[in-house]
Amino acid sequence: MFDPKANKPAKAPVVVPSKSAPTKLAMMPDAVPPDGKIRERAYELYESRGCEPGQDEQDWLRAERELLKQGR
């Protein structure tokens, strides 16, 4: 009896290029500031905004950015 599935050749995977592929790679800095310094600066930013909650991630990222620019 003939089994059509038995001798099927393997299909090659289909690769679809991503339209959202980045054209530039992000470079990691040589020295990342310690979490303690970032935490302190983020808290200062929080206080400067009047201790308004809900922007902790923005404060952290801004603090990290500032410290990277300063080379700490």
Conformational region of residue 51, where left means phi above 0, alpha means psi within -120 to 50, and beta covers everything else: left
* pTM exceeds 0.85, yes or no: no
Give domain status of residue 48, yes or no.
yes
pLDDT at 53: 94
Q: 46: domain range? A: 35-70
Q: Which of 67, 63, 35, 65 is nearest to 47 (CA)?
A: 63
Give domain status of residue 47, yes or no.
yes
Comparing 17 with 64, the larger pLDDT belongs to 64
Instruction: Show the beta-strand stretches assigned E in the chain.
Output: none
pLDDT at 32: 77
Count of domains forming the chain: 1
Give domain status of residue 50, yes or no.
yes
pLDDT at 1: 55
- State the residue for tokens 């970032």: 38
Reported as type and span, the H/E element at residue 63 is: helix 56-70
Q: What is the pLDDT of residues 4-46, one digit of tens each?
A: 666 666 677 777 666 665 566 666 666 778 899 999 999 999 9
